[in-house]
Amino acid sequence: MVFLVLLVGCGPKNYKQDADERVYSILDRQWDPEFGTRANYRVSDVEPSAMDVRVDKAIPSSGVLTLPEAVAVATARNREYQTQKELLYASALNQRLVRHQFETSLFGGAGLFYSGDGTDEAVELSANVGFNRLLATGTQITAALATAWTEVLLGPRESGLASLFTASLTHPLLRGSDPAIVLEGLTQAKRDTLYQIRTFNRFRKTFVVGIVTQYFEALEFHQRARNAEEQCAALEMLRDQARHLASVGRLPVIEVDRLQEEVLLMRDVQIIAQREYEQSLDQFKIALGLSPTVEFRLDTEAMRTLAESGLAEPTFAESEAIATALYHRLDVANAADAVLDAQRHVHVAADQLRADLRLGGTVELHTDGARRGTAGAALDLPLDRVAEQGAYRMALLALNQRQRDYDLAADTVRLEVRQAHRKLREAAQRYRTLVEARDLAEVRVEKTSALLQYGRTSSRRVLSAQQDLYAVKNAVADALTDYAIATLNFYRDTGVLQVRPDGMWEKGPHAIGITHQVTDAEHHAKP
């Protein structure tokens, strides 16, 4: 039975299960909790962890999809999110493949052959088994046992069993003898996995910000549609009031016609606003990983809750926000570590310029007692190193490029934080200003409507006040959405936003108001 298992091999299902176990063992070992919660990172055809989001029913029975529910659905179904999980898986799988070069690699096989020409016939059964092993010192070890059994059917040969054991070893003394050089491929594979873990967690932060942003933008379109509906109703009421006043001779009839025109134009605006809302909702469904034909409503209370939160301006200095971002941003950490990778690559390329001196030996043992062994050394002088020279020079240039990439990444973060800080402050101020303007516009509408009732003003003034109120209500909705988005972008760009296991976000334990004594260069080991 064991022979049959070895002969046939494991089934695809077992291979997949073994690959999954090894990949997630690698990821779990390298995942630093500071990067983010280790949840919602398994590919779709792997059993989810206990902390992963599970969505049995995308749309609640109420038909209203709240913001947390929307984020959970997107985390479970979004197509780009699935791709990012697969990229994470692939990086660990590649590390597993590179690591295998330093593990004992078994090989073996068997063959059955018939040979004959009428005067000489025989059947031969052969088998071999052995292993290869590469050590961190660069030593390559190979051992194999071969066995052949011959059954002579016709001819002068004799039947019998013969076996041969062979072993060989090569060891570098100069080029390729430094363990750091030998293990460079594995070192880089480990770091690539680390970078992908950081990239994945950075993606999760931008992803949740994107989903929440689209949710509030869709709510803004909904609010605009409601504002248009309310404005249309207000204009119809104003028209009816003017029609009554005209009927008793207190208002020119031409003003009624003007108001009827405004009502029709507002209905057109309402139709367009409703279409824009439905279109934004369909686009949001795609982001959630749902079909555009799926029907649901958004939780309009989210806007009111946000408005009641106070919309405070940032109380910390811009310099503190920048220091926090440079300390915690995962993409900056990747850019800094890429410089260290380039330094190692220079060291590896320089090693290839050296002479190559290798010791080697083989041993053969036969079943008949015969023995044979060889030992020696091979020297390759560095007389022609043009290719290696080019590789070394390119490694130096790559180091300069990675240094510039880091500088650009750090400056880009500084720019993003400055813009986010400025936008957040502006959004809070703008919202408070527009709310005050809206309150004044409402008072103005009430006063002009009362004056119109007593014939002390024209319908044009009431219409103007009503149109101003409509415009400022739309501006308030826009400012409120801008504040929500600016807040999310600020926490994302400073790196303090953390993603919970349910997919929603929260401010991490890193206080922006605390000045960090560690500079970005010290934290990221910038050379």
Of the candidates 100, 93, 94, 95, the residue with the CA atom closest to the CA atom of residue 43: 93
Burial (0-12, 13-18, 19+ Cβ within 10 Å), 206: middle
Rounded Cα–Cα distance for residues 411 and 520 (Å): 11
Q: 58: which DSSP letter?
A: S
Q: What is the pLDDT of residues 231-253, one digit of tens each?
A: 999 999 989 988 888 888 777 88
Q: What share of the chain is helix, strand, coil (3-state, %, to 5)?
A: 60, 15, 25
Q: What is the pLDDT of residues 386-430, one digit of tens each?
A: 999 999 999 999 999 999 999 999 999 999 999 999 999 999 999
Q: Which one is predicted more confidently, 158 or 142?
A: 142
Q: How many residues does the chain have?
A: 527
List 162's β-bridge partners, or say none: 148
Burial (0-12, 13-18, 19+ Cβ within 10 Å), 161: exposed
Q: What is the pLDDT of residues 473-502, one digit of tens each?
A: 999 999 999 999 999 999 999 999 999 999
Of the candidates 182, 186, 180, 194, the residue with the CA atom closest to the CA atom of residue 344: 180
Of the candidates 160, 199, 247, 191, the residue with the CA atom closest to the CA atom of residue 525: 191
Rounded Cα–Cα distance for residues 464 and 488 (Å): 36
Task: Name the superfamily (CATH) of residues 190-342+395-523.
Answer: Outer membrane efflux proteins (OEP) (1.20.1600.10)
pLDDT of residue 517: 35
Neighbour tally for 99: CB within 10 Å: 15
Rounded Cα–Cα distance for residues 438 and 444 (Å): 10
Rounded Cα–Cα distance for residues 331 and 340 (Å): 15
Of the candidates 231, 226, 219, the residue with the CA atom closest to the CA atom of residue 306: 219
Dihedral pair phi/psi, residue 383, rounded to 5°:
-85, -30
Q: Say whether pLDDT at 296 is over 80.
A: yes
Burial (0-12, 13-18, 19+ Cβ within 10 Å), 332: buried
pLDDT of residue 207: 96
Q: Residues of the chain with pLDDT > 90: what percent? A: 69
Contact 300, 219 (CB under 8 A): yes
Contact 134, 120 (CB under 8 A): no
Contact 238, 466 (CB under 8 A): yes
Q: Say whether pLDDT at 520 is over 90.
A: no
Element containing residue 122 per DSSP (H, E): strand 121-134
Q: What is the pLDDT of residues 49-74, one digit of tens each?
A: 888 988 888 788 889 999 999 999 99
Contact 89, 196 (CB under 8 A): no
Q: Say whether pLDDT at 5 is over 60.
A: no
* Chain position carrying tokens 């949840």: 39
Q: How confident is the model at residue 159 (pLDDT cuts 50, 70, 90)?
A: low
CB under 8 Å to 343, separation ≥6 — which residues?
399, 527
Tokens standing for 173? 């003394």
Concatenated DSSP letters of 318-348:
HHHHHHHHHHH-HHHHHHHHHHHHHHHHHHH
Of the candidates 306, 290, 310, the residue with the CA atom closest to the CA atom of residue 216: 306
Task: Quickly list H helices, 42-137.
Answer: 67-77, 79-99
CB under 8 Å to 228, separation ≥6 — which residues?
266, 269, 270, 273, 274, 470
Burial (0-12, 13-18, 19+ Cβ within 10 Å), 2: exposed
Q: What is the pLDDT of residues 264-292, one digit of tens each?
A: 999 999 999 999 999 999 999 999 999 99
Half-sphere exposure for 120 (CA within 13 Å, toward CB) = 7
Of the candidates 65, 52, 40, 60, the residue with the CA atom closest to the CA atom of residue 285: 65
